[in-house]
Structure 1
């Protein structure tokens, strides 16, 4: 069974420090996406001008917020106005990932930054005259580690897909592993910051983890690296800090105990600031790169999955959503950070909404399985995917009780038969959302909250 899609902001955020849902549950939401171009495409024509004219009064400037989504494969940008309409959207060229036979997966931090800048320039260029970006925020991938050398150089990002820290994880006793999960909310696994940093500390990155370590002045994630590029200061947020597996989930502060286990000083980590607050202003150099005005407020963003949840309106206890892309991730919202009560297989992170946490599990590369399977095997593959979702919800126990509708986004939503199977396997309504970069939408919403924008009146 499939439920009729609800408007994205139907969920309430009463305990959040975010004005009650912005944008409002209005039929106008997400109905106007007049431009979608990569940086290589021309912006001479301005198809957004007609759509944006509704928000202008007597030729006055229309304000928008810019949400930037920095995923593993590319960067995306959404410019959103006060009513919640996406006025412009843009994608960067793909970000190259260098893989090695021993399980390495690395990206160039500067290429990540250039992708963000390109997406922003393209979206900003599509807005045309009379539209101004009033603030921006970033949704970023989590778990990837960027070592910053004493000279300020950041030459590599060891991504969350890197498995070279497997031996480090296996070296920890069950008691140590249990303690790591109890403090951080995450079970030890390759791809999280803690084991990656411990592995890098053990040897030279250029020699596969053997030899003398390269001196490191700061251990950053993609999130705080981009914040530095934007504002000139290092800042991160609780949902991204959780992916470093060095944060105390109960206090949302760096854990001295876990930092000692990684072999680093907590002073080498960026300050953790609350999502939806202003971190600083766009520097002149960054503004030129992004095609924006210097001094534009830069708002603390969040982990891409947490921002996607906010963008989808998944913010109340019992809400859940499935990201059915190449990798499938199931996220459930709770209002307590009780790791001891967390079922096995779930990791706990702060939501970008204050007073909420996200329990999530990675169901693996089911999207890749679908893409690589011949058409005649589609039904069997769909059944396998649906069964895995059902099993994950069953394992979640009381956290998934109540039968709330599950929001599904990503490439999997293109297959109606698959969505029907998921609804049957989970015995709950399934709501699909239109194609959009939902992390960018959530980041835009955080930027709007920092400006004090409130929801427009819902239309009848």
Structure 2
């Protein structure tokens, strides 16, 4: 038997094929483009997701035909919150509005006024990246589109529909819509009604590790697969990454530096802290939850600097350690606003303290340090919800930098562990969920932690100076908040 994990990210679709012991047989990635037609807007074409998925699967089929023919399960993970809108004929009504789109900030205030106890129901603060405020925005500014909406799907659930013909979502991804009663693991009729929708507009819900549908017969025949193929509920990208890296028990955690930055902690109970913009979501495994702090521009901040300086990211990472000396500027990584802990769509990126002596290495250091400080802010918010970490797995593209790992470990005050295969965590997690959906293995057997390759410990000799700069970093946001709003 083999299993396919499909991870629909913001910048690429990544597909991994595993054997029946969850060993990776092959992986293929196909790049995606994000469109920014106006300030604060971030959109993608759902058809581009589907085309990229087919191209990636085609690459694996070409190189590993025999293993692919033994396919028995498919799992999907994906970027969360995106509003993918279909009419009654299944036509896509407009480009999908993505997680890092902040146009609906005013509608967040409106939604919380419409449902005063929304934070109690959803466990989360209304944020412009979430799905529900996007629909309120559409009702005002694109009313013809809004009136035509028959189904609202999250990105991975659109791909699942193309694979199966069924409208299905899982608890972890649905938690990021603001339409889910997270404690009850069910759609909230009150939250749906506040945006003019009902359960009829939503996909049905299953747990991420449960069977959701079957692969369409025409696709199965085209791909040369003889037996039936189960498609499981799947997961939002971070919950899938947790399964891929083995973060499935209470107290387990990971820190991800991808386009966004995430600190994820698995919990045995529902433990919200909306006042500090902590995300309290369902895990993709039954009867489990998790907390997340999220920053919107992690590796994206370094990519921005790379484009600005016309210098490869790898070169910036290489010269950043030299930038520690020379009193580098303080960097606020709020290039697209911020979530945890500020929930401020108006926040802006800032270099503070620049002089004529600062060079590229100082800016590279400042950006990497600023992201580490933002993650430390997130950990402080998680601690406000009762979470204490003794360590965390280190994943995402930023985990390729040991220097960045040590910066984050020092800022948070806890060790970070780099695992084998950490760069394919979400796709691997999706494949593991597909294996669980067949019902032949238990979670402990499937969702083990990969081998630890390295551990980045907090640097005791840098702790005092790091803490001093971190306090300046925190004061800067407070001082500039009113200017951001102006």
TM above 0.5: yes
* 1:363 aligned partner: 295
Q: Deviations over 1:101-128 (max 9, x none)?
A: 2432222212211111221221232223
Matches within 5 A, 1:118-157: 118-129=55-66, 132-155=70-93, 156-157=95-96
Unmatched segments (≥5 aa) in structure 1: 1-62
Please say if residues 256 and 399 of structure 2, whose CA atoms lie closer than 8 Å, have aligned partners that are also in contact: no
* 1:43 aligned partner: none
Larger RCO of the pair (alpha carbons < 8 Å, separation 6+): 1
Distance 1:139 1:292, change over 3 A: farther
Please say if residues 124 and 279 of structure 2, whose CA atoms lie closer than 8 Å, have aligned partners that are also in contact: yes
Distance 1:219 1:383, change over 3 A: closer
Alpha-carbon separation, structure 2, partners of 1:130 and 1:113? 22
The offset of 1:387, in angstroms, is 2.5
Alpha-carbon separation, structure 1, partners of 2:221 and 2:200? 31
Q: RMSD of aligned C-alpha atoms?
A: 2.6
* 1:166 aligned partner: 105
* 2:436 aligned partner: 449
What secondary structure is seen at the aligned counterpart in 2 of 1:436? Answer: helix
* 1:430 aligned partner: 416
* 2:185 aligned partner: 252
Normalised by the size of structure 2, how large is the TM-score?
Answer: 0.74
Alpha-carbon separation, structure 2, partners of 1:98 and 1:260? 30
* 1:376 aligned partner: 362
Alpha-carbon separation, structure 2, partners of 1:122 and 1:289? 14
Please say if residues 318 and 400 of structure 1, whose CA atoms lie closer than 8 Å, have aligned partners that are also in contact: no
Q: Deviations over 1:323-356 (max 9, x none)?
A: 11121111111111143x5662201111112222
Q: 1:286 aligns with which of 193, 196, 219?
A: 219
* 2:117 aligned partner: 179
Please say if residues 124 and 274 of structure 2, whose CA atoms lie closer than 8 Å, have aligned partners that are also in contact: no
Residue 97 of structure 1 pairs with residue 34 of structure 2: yes
Please say if residues 240 and 430 of structure 2, whose CA atoms lie closer than 8 Å, have aligned partners that are also in contact: yes
The offset of 1:447, in angstroms, is 0.9
Distance 1:391 1:222, change over 3 A: closer
Residue 396 of structure 1 pairs with residue 382 of structure 2: yes
Please say if residues 370 and 381 of structure 1, whose CA atoms lie closer than 8 Å, have aligned partners that are also in contact: yes
Unmatched segments (≥5 aa) in structure 2: 307-359, 449-486
What secondary structure is seen at the aligned counterpart in 1 of 2:234? Answer: strand
Alpha-carbon separation, structure 2, partners of 1:348 and 1:290? 39
* 1:112 aligned partner: 49
* 1:352 aligned partner: 284
* 1:70 aligned partner: 8
Matches within 5 A, 1:189-268: 189-204=127-142, 213-268=146-201
Residue 324 of structure 1 pairs with residue 244 of structure 2: no
Alpha-carbon separation, structure 1, partners of 2:235 and 2:104? 25
Q: 2:269 aligns with which of 336, 352, 357?
A: 336
- Greater percentage in helix: 2
Please say if residues 135 and 146 of structure 2, whose CA atoms lie closer than 8 Å, have aligned partners that are also in contact: no
Alpha-carbon separation, structure 2, partners of 1:202 and 1:343? 28
Distance 1:164 1:292, change over 3 A: farther
Alpha-carbon separation, structure 1, partners of 2:222 and 2:102? 33
Alpha-carbon separation, structure 1, partners of 2:106 and 2:185? 28
Distance 1:271 1:157, change over 3 A: same
Alpha-carbon separation, structure 2, partners of 1:238 and 1:166? 25
Please say if residues 179 and 192 of structure 2, whose CA atoms lie closer than 8 Å, have aligned partners that are also in contact: yes
Please say if residues 121 and 291 of structure 1, whose CA atoms lie closer than 8 Å, have aligned partners that are also in contact: no
Alpha-carbon separation, structure 2, partners of 1:225 and 1:144? 10
The offset of 1:159, in angstroms, is 1.4
Please say if residues 147 and 216 of structure 1, whose CA atoms lie closer than 8 Å, have aligned partners that are also in contact: yes
* 2:207 aligned partner: 274
Please say if residues 125 and 291 of structure 1, whose CA atoms lie closer than 8 Å, have aligned partners that are also in contact: no
Alpha-carbon separation, structure 2, partners of 1:400 and 1:288? 51
* 1:30 aligned partner: none
Please say if residues 343 and 397 of structure 1, whose CA atoms lie closer than 8 Å, have aligned partners that are also in contact: no
* 2:242 aligned partner: 309
Higher mean C-alpha displacement, 144-153 vs 372-381: 372-381
Residue 415 of structure 1 pairs with residue 354 of structure 2: no
Distance 1:338 1:411, change over 3 A: closer
What secondary structure is seen at the aligned counterpart in 2 of 1:287? Answer: helix
Please say if residues 383 and 421 of structure 1, whose CA atoms lie closer than 8 Å, have aligned partners that are also in contact: yes
The offset of 1:304, in angstroms, is 1.0
Residue 406 of structure 1 pairs with residue 406 of structure 2: no
Alpha-carbon separation, structure 1, partners of 2:145 and 2:302? 43
Distance 1:452 1:212, change over 3 A: closer
What secondary structure is seen at the aligned counterpart in 1 of 2:270? Answer: coil
What secondary structure is seen at the aligned counterpart in 2 of 1:368? Answer: helix
Higher mean C-alpha displacement, 245-254 vs 401-410: 401-410
Residue 300 of structure 1 pairs with residue 233 of structure 2: yes
What secondary structure is seen at the aligned counterpart in 1 of 2:148? Answer: coil
Alpha-carbon separation, structure 2, partners of 1:360 and 1:331? 5
* 1:5 aligned partner: none
Higher mean C-alpha displacement, 288-297 vs 400-409: 288-297
